[in-house]
Structure 1
């Protein structure tokens, strides 16, 4: 089933097409999963890094198509300040993911699996793939629903300054008042697919991101005064 949603409002300058941002950073649930060796892991393990969380499955054709671009993005930006966390919701577990990675030549992404599918509801991911940008404090800055080319020049140019500024300790305190414009917008992508664990694609909630702060980070500058 396709999810159709008309975009609302203009994108921030420099924001890649389809990336949905809003006003206030929203804490992301501490989703739990296992690594390739079956050890328990959680999103909290990545606190202090900017995380690009991609929720996907091997049976999802758009997910399979974009996975090499996520692998290349991790190779380009991955390190102490940034990580692509590709979280599979395959019910068959890590061996299925390992086989797929081997098949397409993924070398830079670690195996992470939530076979229970609970991450879908926790993250309000109504379809696959869903990709969420999370700051170093564990808060959602925005999301993109559907596949894209994650190693494209405009995407790397958008993400790199954010990673650099977050790594430099420029995260905005929770209680700081910021200027914002109240414009929310959503995405439209014809390839978004519903996951069987959640049935038909429904409406997701609007997530909130500090737009002035993110815009300043993306442009390589400092956020404005409160």
Structure 2
């Protein structure tokens, strides 16, 4: 009798159901696999803001990050103004190289009504990033944090730095994986033109 029970469980419909469930689990898990983050290489830039081209507006997946108090924010918090979302990390050489120029340009862009949203992807963000910025004499440059690097995963982009240019509806209109020469002559005008 027990043998009959085992054989009845191995019938074709039962095997098909198991196979379908296993395959479905594999398909569901596959998109969740993350590409490891990497710093841009010499072939990834840097580029002038004038070289970054706009594309048709694209709705972004939900992206969340935290401020220094641990309050969670998303791009909807910046809706109504054009914005630059800039993903970076303290361990990323090209990020560190370009950060002072972005920090110097950020106040001018804010005066133009453009939000600058730097998001550090360090897993110990709030404890590591402020002292790091202070060592670079950038303690007034406020960064947000994504300690799980969920923004890069949601964007399916493993290269840092990563810069997205967003319209007033928080839709992506341009993207550049790799460093940007934020201190190029005319950088502010090029960005204003891109986000107009």
- Give the TM-score of the pair, scaled to structure 1: 0.62
| Offset of residue 121 of structure 1 | 1.5
State the partner residue of 1:98. 130
| Offset of residue 102 of structure 1 | 0.8
Gaps of 5+ in 2: 1-37
Residue 123 of structure 1, aligned match among 144, 147, 155: 155
- The CA deviation string for residues 98-157 of structure 1, in whole angstroms up to 9 with x for no partner, is 011111122553220000111112122221001010111111110112112213223211
2:147 is paired with a residue whose SS is coil
State the partner residue of 1:143. 175
Aligned residues: 155
Instruction: Return closer, same or farther for 1:35/1:99 CA change in 2, 3 Å cut-off.
Output: same
Higher alpha-carbon Rg: 2
State the partner residue of 2:54. 21
2:96 is paired with a residue whose SS is helix
Instruction: Return closer, same or farther for 1:151/1:78 CA change in 2, 3 Å cut-off.
Output: farther
The answer to whether the Cα contact below 8 Å between 1:55 and 1:86 also exists between their aligned partners in 2 is yes
Matched, 1:73 2:118: no
Instruction: Return closer, same or farther for 1:65/1:5 CA change in 2, 3 Å cut-off.
Output: closer
User: Is the helix fraction higher in 1 or 2?
Assistant: 2
What value does the CA root-mean-square deviation take over the aligned residues?
2.4
Instruction: Return closer, same or farther for 1:90/1:162 CA change in 2, 3 Å cut-off.
Output: same
* Moved beyond 6 Å, runs of 4+: 1-6
The answer to whether the Cα contact below 8 Å between 2:82 and 2:168 also exists between their aligned partners in 1 is yes
- The correspondence of residues 150-169 of structure 1 with structure 2, limited to 5 A, is 150-162=182-194
Instruction: Return closer, same or farther for 1:3/1:105 CA change in 2, 3 Å cut-off.
Output: closer
| Offset of residue 5 of structure 1 | 7.8
Matched, 1:47 2:76: no
- Give the TM-score of the pair, scaled to structure 2: 0.70
Residue 145 of structure 2, aligned match among 113, 119, 137: 113
Instruction: Return closer, same or farther for 1:4/1:149 CA change in 2, 3 Å cut-off.
Output: closer
The answer to whether the Cα contact below 8 Å between 2:83 and 2:115 also exists between their aligned partners in 1 is yes
